[in-house]
Structure 1
Amino acid sequence: MADQQPAGPGHGTSAGFAGSVRLDRHGCPACTIPGTHRLPSTTARVRAGSELPHHDAFGPLGPRLPTLDHRGRGRRIRLPHHRVHGRRGGLPSPRDDPNRSDSVVQHLRGLPSVRVHDGRCLWIRFVSRPRHIIIIGGGLAGPLLGCLLADQGSEVTILERRGDPRADGYDGGRSINLALSARGIEALARIGLDDAVLRTVVPMQGRMMHDPEGRTSFSPYSVIPGETINSVSRGHLNCMVLDAAEARTAVALHFDVECTSIDVDRSRVSYRTPDGSEHTLDSDLVVGADGAGSMVRAAMDQRERTDDGTEFIESGYKELTIPAGPDGSFQLRPDALHIWPRGHYMLIALPNEDGSFTCTCFWPHEGPESFAAVQTPEEITSFFRTNFADAAELMPDLVEEYLRNPVGPLGTVRCRRYHHRDSAVLIGDAAHAIVPFFGQGMNASFQDCLRLADCIAGHHTMREALESYDALQRPDGDAIGQLSLRNFIEMRDHTASPAFRLLQRFRKRLNRMFPRWYVPLYNMVSFTTIPYTRVITIDRRRRWSVLAIAFLTVLTLGFLVT
């Protein structure tokens, strides 16, 4: 971003200097261009000899920024003072040179751009070179952030440990289905990808509950038409954001590279390519988008305490599949998230575009009804026929998939800071990995990308940008971690309860009657972009009111009946 500084006395950081420096003696390496060949300039003309106007931080002449060094850290350029016409900082009169001609200095990246008049400087504009930002991680958040930063003028290098999924096929090691909601859609819209992605999703209108006897009951997410949760393929979405990043000339993608060291103080990354060669990159900022086991977070933690640890829950997850029917049709209702709640364990299923469903078992690691207790083909078949009979009938490869697919851990990553000085920052799971029970992991990560890009664009220095991002986003990361754990208990233990379902219907009725006053917690998280911390505050404030109204309603009905 260019900065315009007045060169007359008493204005700006260069006050008293630029107006007194002769054109041929200021020491600037840029060469002057004759008036007939000069570049167009947006700098306002100022009559020589007149007082230069003062402008605020965002006045008509643009933002006033401090002089930046190559890392954006506010370095001042020191030049000697001279005396002109016997007074320091004086500006010549137009009468001094009646045959004068204007000149401008070529705009060069990283060098001062000077507009001169009558052989004297009137304005200095500092045009800093583009920032070079290294993003570690080419999953979902990394390429999306790369697009946002490239659109702002930064040069971006993305380093990914795995191969290119567009060539090798997706192998993310995690859930192949994700829930895309308002926060994620907002981020995709910023890089022009929302329409393309939404054409590939399967909208889910609500939850379909399956009890042990095979009976089902449907609970819509919202009373407002069009408010749906969208089931999207992680692999397909990953390929789309990589394509979007690759389409930007300022983004360089490198796959199959192993980071060997990260110097977070110097924003320096060393890595090894598949042929064994070693490379080192210097940058202005290193971004950790490398997941829950983040190498960037570990490097930051070595310099100052960053990682507050990972809190694992007692349950893990394993993925299975309900294939499409013989004609490619869905074998379950396609516009619903299907849940088989069974107390301390459950099974869920999300629809895919090809007619299949991705099922996930969330079970304890140990105990009588756990992954440890269900290991042989006989145990697998018996357990599913007893607890998930209607689902088991639709899984012809149940035993083979169960034995083949690994059990994944579930936990929450907490950090006491998301940035290191002005040289490194964390986003997504690297900063706040969460359990998947609110469907907000990807959406929260995409929101990190938006917030970080906006902070970098809106602050003068990288340190200010990262401090602002940390202050704004870290409380939200902690908040969605709490909400996800709370929703795990709700989905596992409460959704099968008739009393809970009655309360949910009452909340939806309130939402329909008073849409401006009451919005359920789930709807605020999934269908708005209200900050997660604000969502918790609003819900806490409304909760007692809702319970009081429900209690009074029950009393009134009881009185009328008797």
Structure 2
Amino acid sequence: MSQKAIKITVVGAGPVGALLTVILARHGYQVDLFESREDSRHNDIYQGKSINIALSDRGWLALESVGIADEVKREAIPMYHRVMHDLEGNLTRQAYGKGKQAIWSVSRAKINELLVSLAEKEDKVSLHFSCHVIDVDFDQPAITFKTKQDKIKHNSDLLFGADGAFSKVRRKMQEIPNKRISYSLDYMPQSYIELTIPPAADGSYQLEKQALHIWPRKDFMLIALPNPDGSFTCTLFMNQKGDISFDALTQRSAVEAFFQRYFSDAINLINNPIDEFISRKTTPLSLVHIDPWVVNNNVSLIGDAAHAMVPFYGQGMNCGFEDCRLLRELVSKHNDNWSEILSQYQTQRKPNCDAIIELAKRNFFEMSELSGNSSFQLCKKIEANFNERYPKLWVPLYTMVTFSPDIPYSEALRIGDIQKEIMAEIMALPNIENRWLDEDIYEMLYTLTINRNFKVKKNELS
């Protein structure tokens, strides 16, 4: 089967599916991209939600590989640090990286539309909207869709399910007779709603622009990401059930008291917070594990369909884009040997995606509780100081995940756990809050690190 003869179906025209389509088309494959929703460039499929995302180095590398990074960056806002708001409205800042290292606030809708338009320009790409998956034949492979007018059956040589956390391709995969498919869909206790801080009357930002704002309140938190129009997209994460929860807060008076007590410096900034809280439908947070990702060497899952995670590390889309970048590298390396391509794709990505799912789950605790804790903030200062002295010996976990695409997620998790143990010893030292700049502290930290003898293994990706 020559390269030009291979026809590929991609199900799901979200950012990951659209990016994958561009990559495959540029390698000479004929690609049909199917989406269950209408074309977002002509219809509001997000129902008023802006759904901001945080793009970091792993995502930017993938976008650079298809030549669209600069265009996306023009619509993005760098966030150089997080700003924590305590109950009294006092602010604490914590840098994400060094110098100009930043995570970038980007509209999911905007980046999706840019990537779909990029795919549409490719001669070998055909776009199909309002096509709902009914059935999948994994032997062909072939997929049956219901459209507004009819049912269609589409055959191809390869099929990618890029249709999100509640993937229909994945669900059909689980139903294959005599296939041992391990699968779990777990829900976090928290759900979320989105709120908005509008621009000031003069169009300026009401909060510091180039920062991610967090109101950490232990079991719940509010975050705010900047938009180009001067507004902030706010997301309130809170338990669905319990004493302080979405289910418990149904009366207007209770909601107003909740905002006055926990978000006193934000309540007057948010657009109609009480009514919006009451009227918004909550969205659950889920984590997906499935094994294998690939069946019959011709059908594969990618992005959230394979590894949906919670958003607390800002890596969901970055991870999906890295899936695409790895496939691009493997296609170049193995030409048309899709059996080898898909085998290597699953082997390399599965442990790394399991790792970032775990890290993202853990990071809710860091953001909602630890980020406002003075001991935690001191720990991060000591780590930053030690990293300045020995940048190759100690790379902070956040830096490994966010700014080091050459370090696999699994390595970041492994090294991060060792670093956590070491820092626990340092933070347990007497009077550390007053001695943290003393030379003996860093001598001890150096000795502990050398004795653990951990070295970061680099990613095979270029």
**What TM-score comes out, normalization by structure 2 length?**
0.90
Structure 2 counterpart of 1:179, from 54, 63, 67: 54
1:451 aligns with 2:326: yes
Question: 1:377 offset after TM fit, Å?
Answer: 2.1
Quick one: distance in 2 between partners of 1:309 and 1:548?
Answer: 36
Give the 3-state SS of the residue equivalent to 1:374 in structure 2: coil
Structure 1 segments unaligned to the other structure (5+ residues): 1-69, 71-126
Question: 1:545 offset after TM fit, Å?
Answer: 4.3
Quick one: distance in 2 between partners of 1:493 and 1:404?
Answer: 27
Structure 2 counterpart of 1:464, from 337, 340, 348: 340
Structure 1 counterpart of 2:174, from 301, 310, 314: 301
Q: How does 1:284-323 map to 2 (within 5 A)?
A: 284-303=157-176, 304-323=179-198
Give the 3-state SS of the residue equivalent to 1:371 in structure 2: coil
Structure 2 counterpart of 1:228, from 102, 106, 109: 102
Structure 2 counterpart of 1:512, from 388, 399, 408: 388
- Which structure features the higher share of helix residues? 2
Structure 1 counterpart of 2:378, from 484, 488, 502: 502
Residue identity in the other structure for 2:159: V
Aligned match of 1:270: 144
Aligned match of 2:89: 214
Aligned match of 1:417: 292
Residue identity in the other structure for 1:187: A
Contact 2:78-2:105 within 8 A present in 1 as well? yes
- List structure 1 runs of 4+ shifted beyond 6 angstroms: 172-175
Aligned match of 1:487: 363
Question: 1:538 offset after TM fit, Å?
Answer: 2.6
Structure 2 counterpart of 1:349, from 201, 216, 224: 224
Contact 2:35-2:130 within 8 A present in 1 as well? yes
Question: 1:271 offset after TM fit, Å?
Answer: 1.2
Give the 3-state SS of the residue equivalent to 2:127 in structure 1: strand
* Percent identity over paired residues: 38
Report 1 or 2 for greater relative contact order, CA contacts < 8 Å, sequence distance ≥ 6: 2
Q: Kindly tell me: are residues 514 and 553 of structure 1, through their superposed partners in 2, closer, same or farther at Cα, counting changes over 3 Å?
A: farther
Give the 3-state SS of the residue equivalent to 2:255 in structure 1: helix
Aligned length: 434
Quick one: distance in 2 between partners of 1:292 and 1:406?
Answer: 18
Q: Kindly tell me: are residues 305 and 295 of structure 1, through their superposed partners in 2, closer, same or farther at Cα, counting changes over 3 Å?
A: farther
Aligned match of 2:278: 403
Quick one: distance in 1 between partners of 2:94 and 2:330?
Answer: 39
Residue identity in the other structure for 2:294: H
Question: 1:272 offset after TM fit, Å?
Answer: 2.2
Question: 1:266 offset after TM fit, Å?
Answer: 1.2
Question: 1:404 offset after TM fit, Å?
Answer: 2.6
Quick one: distance in 1 between partners of 2:130 and 2:401?
Answer: 36
Give the 3-state SS of the residue equivalent to 1:226 in structure 2: coil
Contact 1:411-1:433 within 8 A present in 2 as well? yes
**What TM-score comes out, normalization by structure 1 length?**
0.74
Aligned match of 1:383: 258
Question: 1:371 offset after TM fit, Å?
Answer: 0.4
Residue identity in the other structure for 1:537: R
Structure 2 segments unaligned to the other structure (5+ residues): 440-462
Q: Kindly tell me: are residues 186 and 214 of structure 1, through their superposed partners in 2, closer, same or farther at Cα, counting changes over 3 Å?
A: same
Contact 2:192-2:237 within 8 A present in 1 as well? yes
Greater mean alpha carbon deviation, residues 453-462 or residues 497-506? 453-462
Contact 1:264-1:299 within 8 A present in 2 as well? no
Residue identity in the other structure for 1:227: Q
Aligned-pair Cα RMSD in Å: 2.1
Give the 3-state SS of the residue equivalent to 1:389 in structure 2: coil
Contact 2:218-2:365 within 8 A present in 1 as well? no
Structure 2 counterpart of 1:535, from 400, 406, 412: 412
What do residues 166-192 of structure 1 show as CA deviations (whole Å, max 9, x unaligned)? 111342797610000000000001110
Specify the structure having the higher radius of gyration (Cα).
Answer: 1
Structure 2 counterpart of 1:244, from 118, 129, 133: 118
What do residues 375-398 of structure 1 show as CA deviations (whole Å, max 9, x unaligned)? 122222111011101110112411
Quick one: distance in 1 between partners of 2:314 and 2:141?
Answer: 33
Q: How does 1:324-339 map to 2 (within 5 A)?
A: 324-339=199-214
Question: 1:246 offset after TM fit, Å?
Answer: 0.5
1:259 aligns with 2:136: no
What do residues 63-121 of structure 1 show as CA deviations (whole Å, max 9, x unaligned)? xxxxxxx4xxxxxxxxxxxxxxxxxxxxxxxxxxxxxxxxxxxxxxxxxxxxxxxxxxx
